[in-house]
Amino acid sequence: MKYSKLFFTALLSLSVLAVSCTKESQREAEELGDQMEQTAESIGNDFKAEKDQFVEKTEHEMKELNEKISKLDEKIENASDEVKQETEEAMDELKQEREELKAELAELKEASKENWDDVKESFNDKMDDLKDGYNQLLEDIKIG
């Protein structure tokens, strides 16, 4: 009988300990879940801030480039017929690239975190192409 009481007491103690450990583990798991949610929120907020900042900077760059292209187009319109003929095709291409870049900007604004890097890279490539085209046309006019 004495061993039965001792066994029962030990079994009861182990049961209480197991319940305590389970509750502690559950609490720790809940805390870990909360921390993971906060981290995910923070990452999402960081992405949104980065994206918003990039879009704002890009819109400013595009506005400046649009103004430069418009001024160049105006100069060409006031130039000789020879200059107009020589630059017409290049200016049309430049305007087409500008329209494509506007479409890319719309895509950039809608990009998700998953496709952000690809969309951003594509946009940057097209922006570089537009700048290069503008600079080349400007150089061609100066030479001619």
- C-beta atoms surrounding 76 within 10 Å: 18
50 closest CA partner among 128, 127, 119: 119
Structural domain total, the chain: 1
pLDDT digits (tens, 9 = 90+) for 1-21: 555 565 556 545 545 545 555
Question: Residue 121 pLDDT more than 90?
Answer: yes
Distance of CA 137 to the CA centre of its chain: 31
Give the domain range for residue 52.
2-143
How high is the pLDDT of residue 14?
47
Total-model pTM: 0.67
Percent of the chain with pLDDT over 70: 74
pLDDT digits (tens, 9 = 90+) for 37-94: 665 566 668 999 999 999 999 999 999 999 999 999 998 889 889 888 989 999 999 9
Cβ atoms of 84 and 73 within 8 Å: the answer is no
Distances 144 to 36, 80, 130, 139 between C-alpha atoms, Å: 63, 11, 21, 9
Question: Residue 31 pLDDT more than 50?
Answer: yes
102 closest CA partner among 121, 123, 116, 120: 123
Answer with the residue of higher pLDDT: 42 or 121: 121
